[in-house]
Copies of this chain bind each other. A is one copy, B any other.
Amino acid sequence: MSRDTAKDTDNPNSTASNDANTASKPQDSVTFALAQSHFLVGDITANAEKMRTLALQAREQGADVIIFPELGLLGYPPQDLLLRPSLSGRIKSALSSLSDIDDIVMIVGYPHVDHHGTFNSAAILHNGHQKGFYHKQILPNYGVFDERRYFDKGRNQVLFDYKGITIGLLICEDLWEKGPIAELKKQGADLIVSLNASPFEIEKQDNRKTMLAKRSRENNLPIIYLNAVGGQDDLVFDGGSMAIQADGSVAHEASRFMNQLMLATFNVKTAKFNTQAKAPLSLSRESEMYQALVVGLRDYVNLSGFTGIIVGLSGGIDSALTLCIAVDALGADKVYAVMMPYEYTSQISLEDAQAQARRLNVSYTVCPIFDAVEGIRHTLAPLFNKSPADTTEENIQARARGVVLMALSNKFGHLVITTGNKSELAVGYSTLYGDMAGGFDVLKDVYKSQVYKLASYRNRLEDTPVIPERVITRPPSAELRPDQKDQDSLPDYDVLDGILMSYIDEDMGYQDIVDKGFDADLVAKVIKMVDNSEYKRSQAPIGTKISHKAFGRERRFPLVNKWSIKG
């Protein structure tokens, strides 16, 4: 519905009857409902049904307009489902299934397919009519985004008049650039509605607020910012939808990480939103990271249909934190902890693993792997011909544990989750098919130094710490040979993580990292370890993205290449 081409559809309120539920509202006002709700990828019919329910609920509460997230009808990111031949027909019938909803304008995110192409679009539905549609103009194709794989660019601004104001539509990335909103302003917009599916990363909500304040002030325009919520594979959408005044201040902010139907009333005369009686608490860094990890795991497990999860405990901090997140995500009754001691497992580890499980009240099983390891070693003995022990024997222990956990998974139908952190995965300090065996790696995007912070954070939430203090203070060890410590083969985690964050999250090169003050040889060694572990990561389970650059779809390197570190 470009202004140029669709003048006739610009005025939904010509057919609207707003006789109900408006008694308590100020006159000359428009109430927007922000449907911050989890729309599941692929679940078109159910998503339409959810839209119906929310629209009726919003209307009941006096809303004039309800806004759904970017691509909400299909879920985000749908990836190659967008190429399925039946997509267009399914979308059309879902949209028309909503046509009997009267007396509320619905702005629905959906993929639009016509002879011009495929678009990431927002439809304006009102009283059984599709009053127009907007196609996203700026298509992100970096980081985790592949939108130019699927979508054609929209070329037109879309505005519509309703109850005395002119509303301009934007979708997600459109607002991160200066142009589209400025063009809407030029064409007469009084207010912007922006549909989003913006994945969580650390500090993202702050960045959104900064950006929204800037855009609203630049154009003296109020903005409704509606975000998606919920986990989808490695991404978590963290909600935090907002209504922003024209001066850049936040009038309304929805909860993070939770479904919420938030209402914001816009006074046409003052051109201001009413303000929220009680704004949600701002989350600490640890709190938002922790919640993202909980939601990511919860939705992956529930969507994949598993009734429980299995986690191997080692007595160490990674599995301890993973266990907390698992319990917070799914409840203690769905979590099965297994401790698999071998020769090098310390008494402390056994005690601490048991203590963790007890404090969290989860099923706890001890399954010593002596027989499995011995059996494997017997099988290999004739081939190994008494060669001296090396990392092979360590990997055998890790893989025996992987086999045990997967057998429990196969037998009892639970999902094995893994406990590897980002520091380990970065430098390849992990065993393929061993501790990397499982369907979801909870701490995949959490550096070891962050693991400590999150463990302390979680302990502070309750009077009795759920993770025994000793687990946090003792030196980390994989316990795969006598007296092994992580720091035998790796630098201190604070140093390691400093180099890794520079190289991975900040995309810095060797020289710039050295110039930060790190030891040159160590930087070269760490970069080499990262580069040499691409093949391992290519077979790693997925895990929730929380950083600016997570391993996986966000970071795509050739498995074999000859790029030199120093160049």
Q: Which residue numbers of A lie inside 8 Å of B, CB to CB?
A: 40-46, 75, 77-81, 83-86, 89-90, 141-142, 146, 148-149, 232-233, 300, 303-304, 365, 367-376, 378-380, 382-384, 387, 390-392, 395-396, 399-400, 402-404, 406-408, 410-411, 432-433, 437, 439, 507-512, 535, 538-542, 555-564, 567
- Indicate which residue in B78, B370, B387, B567 contacts A44 across the interface (CB closer than 8 Å): B567
Q: Are A367 and B392 in contact (CB under 8 A)?
A: no
Q: Are A556 and B80 in contact (CB under 8 A)?
A: yes
Query: What's the least CB distance linking A428 to chain B, in Å?
Result: 13
Q: Are B383 and A379 in contact (CB under 8 A)?
A: no
- Indicate which residue in B42, B77, B83, B142 contacts A149 across the interface (CB closer than 8 Å): B142
Closest residue of B by beta carbon distance from A391: B410
Chain B residues with CB below 8 A from A402, complex form: 399, 433
Known: A395-B410, A403-B403, A567-B90. A558 touches B376 (CB 8 A): no
Closest residue of B by beta carbon distance from A437: B433
- Indicate which residue in B40, B149, B390, B510 contacts A562 across the interface (CB closer than 8 Å): B40
A395 to B409, CA, bound (A): 11
Closest residue of B by beta carbon distance from A143: B149
Q: Are A233 and B81 in contact (CB under 8 A)?
A: no
Q: Are A556 and B379 in contact (CB under 8 A)?
A: no
Known: A41-B560, A376-B403. A387 touches B371 (CB 8 A): no
Chain B residues with CB below 8 A from A142, complex form: 149
Chain B residues with CB below 8 A from A439, complex form: 535
Chain B residues with CB below 8 A from A567, complex form: 44-45, 86, 89-90
Q: Are B232 and A560 in contact (CB under 8 A)?
A: yes
A81 to B411, CA, bound (A): 43
Q: Are A376 and B372 in contact (CB under 8 A)?
A: yes
Q: Are A81 and B561 in contact (CB under 8 A)?
A: yes
A365 to B384, CA, bound (A): 12
16 contacts between A and B (CB under 8 A): A40-B561, A42-B561, A81-B563, A84-B507, A86-B509, A304-B535, A367-B380, A367-B382, A367-B383, A375-B378, A376-B376, A376-B404, A390-B411, A395-B410, A399-B433, A403-B403
A78 to B556, CA, bound (A): 9
Closest residue of B by beta carbon distance from A86: B509
A41 to B563, CA, bound (A): 7
A15 to B147, CA, bound (A): 47
Known: A375-B373, A378-B371, A407-B392. A232 touches B84 (CB 8 A): no
Q: Are A379 and B390 in contact (CB under 8 A)?
A: no
Q: Are B379 and A79 in contact (CB under 8 A)?
A: no
Q: Are A400 and B376 in contact (CB under 8 A)?
A: yes
Query: What's the least CB distance linking A411 to chain B, in Å?
Result: 5
- Indicate which residue in B41, B379, B387, B399 contacts A411 across the interface (CB closer than 8 Å): B387
A43 to B567, CA, bound (A): 10
- Indicate which residue in B40, B375, B507, B511 contacts A375 across the interface (CB closer than 8 Å): B375
Q: Are A403 and B407 in contact (CB under 8 A)?
A: no
Chain B residues with CB below 8 A from A538, complex form: 541-542
The interface centre, meaning the residue of A141, A304, A559 with most chain B CB atoms within 10 A of its CB, is A559
